[in-house]
Amino acid sequence: MGILLKNISTLLTLQGAREKHGRHIVEEDLSISHKQSILIEKDKIAWIGNKLPKEFAKKNHKEFDMKGMTVLPGFVECHTHLIFAGDRAAEFEMRNQGVSYQEIAAKGGGILSTMKHTRGSSLNDLVKQGQKRVNHFISQGVTTVEVKSGYALNLKDELKVLQAVQKLEGARTVATFLGAHALPPEFSTYESYLDFLSEKVLPEVKKKKLARRVDVFIEKGFFPKEASEKYLRRAQELGFDVLIHADQMTLSGGADTAIKLGALSGDHLLQITDKEIKALAKSEVTCVMLPSADLYTRTKYPPAKELIEAGARVALATDFNPGTSPTQDLNLVGLLARLEMKMSLPQVLAAYTVGAAYALNLQNEVGSLEVGKSADLVCTPQDWRTLFYSVGEASEKQVFIRGKKAFDPLK
């Protein structure tokens, strides 16, 4: 017995976008069709079409009439710092009154201020707060959420944060170790801290199977490129996938390093030039754009249009964190991508599904609706052309994750 979603008015499978590996996306790649049905068996898509074949028809499926509904793949939120305690509202006010992010960080505020709150929170409290945030993502149609550590910056509490990620329920979660987020007060050089992470923390994370990905914040005033490269190579030797917070505030070599190491993604990329755009387009690195962080930091937006035209694969995400992007609003991200980065709506939809799935190396499981893939889907009465158009709207999305109803706006 499975679930049969019958008579779907408009189905967007994004199969075309998957076949093009998320590159050069045009409307056709949304793979739109009408009057379709989807059969879900257990957690997977068993069949898509308009007439259920005999072999499936015999079974007693639970049927839902989807007339008037649009169905599309669940959104993949591929860059968040979702586990943290406290807020940074006072700093937000200071930044608006003219103090820079770097000045605040240099005085022990910024990431280090969130570190104090996060170290001081219990596992239980972090899970409780984290679960609320995951639920909020799910209500917007998110079915996979990436979560970074990086607000504890010592062995004990970084492990606690990653344990909290493991306890989150509802959506599929992907944990990333971001110990290299800022220099904690216990260390005086970036190099010695990275050595400590390589020698003491990464092996523990590996042994306890708490994350399969390692991220580093390469930036002026944060982690230098050379030492970061050495650290990421060590992570790769241990079997981790790597990714980089790259070229956010200054052109610091993050994109170059991502390409050189074959990183899964380079994230932010505001400061890149034509040279990096061309190189990224030729590479397998997914370019993760985080425009709500650019809004909050009042910097420029990354060259998404140029990247897409050059053939790069682009993803979008919220970068949800208390400092530079205190928002979980996917509509805001999509809106900024359209308004400020001139991405087309099909490009936004592909970036939040197929592109983001690649960033997490989950392109064979999620991001498009195809037989054998996870039954992660969004069902909405909205026309697809009204997606990523308004902000502040109530969600009308019914969300299935791994074949189970995870959110229903009517309940």
Residue with Cβ nearer Fe ion (30 or 161): 161
Nearest to ligand NIG of 113, 283 (CB atom): 113
Among 141, 184, 323, 355, binds ligand NIG (CB under 6 A): 323
If binding is defined by CB under 6 A, does position 271 make contact with ligand NIG?
no
Interface with Fe ion in residues 318-377 (CB under 5 A): 319
- Exactly one of 252, 324, 347, 398 binds ligand NIG (CB under 6 A); which one? 324
321 binds ligand NIG (CB under 6 A): yes
Q: How far is the CB of 58 from Fe ion (least distance, A)?
A: 50
Report in angstroms the alpha-carbon separations of 92 from 96, 109, 149, 230, 247.
6, 11, 22, 34, 22
Strand order through the sheet with 314-316: 75-77, 142-148, 172-180, 213-217, 241-246, 265-268, 286-289, 314-316
For ligand NIG, the closer of residues 127 and 293 by Cβ is 293
Q: x/- string (CB under 6 A) for ligand NIG, residues 286-305?
A: -------x------------
Decide if residue 241 touches Fe ion (CB under 5 A): no
- φ, ψ dihedrals at 33, nearest 5°: -145, 170
From ligand NIG, Fe ion, none, which one binds at residue 388 (CB under 5 to 8 Å depending on kind)? Answer: none
Contact call for residues 359 and 288 (beta carbons, < 8 A): yes
Tokens 């599929």 sit on residue: 172
Q: Please, what is the minimum distance in Å from the beta carbon of residue 223 to ligand NIG?
A: 10
What DSSP string describes 187-208?
Answer: -S-HHHHHHHIIIIIHHHHHHT
Nearer to ligand NIG (CB atom), residue 30 or residue 180: 180
Give just the sign of the alpha carbon dihedral 389, 142, 115, 213. negative
Q: Which is nearer to ligand NIG, 320 or 407 (CB)?
A: 320
Q: Is 185 helix (H, G, I), strand (E, B) or coil?
A: coil
319 vs 376 by CB, closer to Fe ion: 319
Is the four-CA dihedral 368, 372, 378, 383 of positive or negative sign?
positive
Identify whether the C-beta of residue 407 lies closer than 8 Å to the C-beta of residue 376.
no
Minimum CB separation from ligand NIG for residue 20, in Å?
A: 28
Q: Which stretch binds ligand NIG (CB under 6 A): 110-118, 161-169, 379-387, 392-400?
A: 110-118
At closest approach, how far in Å is the CB of 346 from Fe ion? 26
The least CB distance from residue 381 to Fe ion, in Å, is 33
What is the smallest separation between the CB atom of 23 and Fe ion, expressed in angstroms?
24
Instruction: State yes or no: residue 319 binds ligand NIG (CB under 6 A).
Output: yes
Q: To the nearest whole angstrom, how small is the minimum distance from the Cβ of residue 150 to ligand NIG?
A: 7
> Considering only 7-15, 133-141, 223-231, 322-330, which stretch makes contact with ligand NIG by CB under 6 A?
322-330
- Binder among 74, 110, 141, 253 for ligand NIG (CB under 6 A): 110
**Residue 347 is encoded by which pair of tokens?**
């490009």
Question: Smaller CB distance to Fe ion: residue 45 or 295?
Answer: 295
d(CA 388, CA 333): 8
Q: Residue with CB nearest Fe ion?
A: 319
Provide the terminal-to-terminal Cα distance of the chain, rounded to the nearest Å: 24
Sign of CA dihedral 357, 359, 363, 368: positive
Contacts of residue 79, defined as CB under 8 A and 6 or more positions apart, other chains included, come to: 146, 148, 265, 267, 288, 290, 315, 317, 318, 319, 359
The pair phi, psi for residue 48, each rounded to 5°, is -135, 135
Among 37, 70, 114, 347, binds ligand NIG (CB under 6 A): 114
Bridge partner residues of 241 (DSSP): 213
CA distance 74 to 19: 18
Which residue's CB comes closest to ligand NIG? 323
Q: Is 219 in the site for Fe ion (CB under 5 A)?
A: no
Closest-CA residue to 348 (of 297, 308, 399): 308
Query: Which parts of 231-270 interact with ligand NIG (CB under 6 A)?
Result: 245, 248
Which residues are at the interface with ligand NIG (CB under 6 A)?
A: 110-111, 114, 217, 245, 248, 293, 319, 321-324
Interaction site with Fe ion (CB under 5 A): 319
